[in-house]
Amino acid sequence: MMNPTSDDSFVEVDPTGRYGRYSEILGRGATKTVYRAFDEYRGIEVAWNQVKLHDFLRCPDRLERLYGEIHLLKTLKHDNIMKFYTSWVDTRNMNINFVTELFCLRHS
């Protein structure tokens, strides 16, 4: 388990105050950015996934598919599938955010 250090400070916090996002980017795709984050309740690092809605608003089918994928993640419960913790829409910044288990890839 990794605790935040005094050098780490949250740049964003979820609406409940449970999850804090750091500025460190863990990965980036065409529509999603994944940040390092921390679960204050459980004391563990998590992945904060952020999807910008701007491109999705132009295509209702893509937006519907995105909502469907998030709903599917919420319902899946299996040891070999990453855990889904929470999601919310940030209307001010036009993002959909969702927090998942953090996976670290090890290179040999």
Going residue by residue through the chain, which has 108 residues, state the pLDDT in tens, using 9 for 90 and above.
444 444 579 999 999 999 999 999 999 988 899 999 999 999 999 999 999 887 777 777 888 888 888 888 888 888 888 899 999 999 999 999 999 999 765 555
Whether the CB-CB separation of 45 and 66 falls below 8 Å is answered with no
Q: Give the burial string for 72-101 (b: 16+ CB within 10 Å, else e).
A: ebeeeeeeeeeebbbbeeeeeeebbbbbbe
Q: What is the pLDDT of residue 64?
A: 84
Residue spans per domain, the chain: 12-101
Q: What is the pLDDT of residue 5?
A: 46
* Biggest CA-to-CA distance, the chain: 44
Q: How far apart are CA 46 and CA 20, in angstroms?
A: 9
Domain 12-101, CATH number (from 1.20.120.330, 1.10.10.10, 3.30.200.20, 3.10.20.600): 3.30.200.20
Q: How far apart are CA 95 and CA 91, in angstroms?
A: 7
Q: What is the pLDDT of residue 9?
A: 92
pTM of the model: 0.82
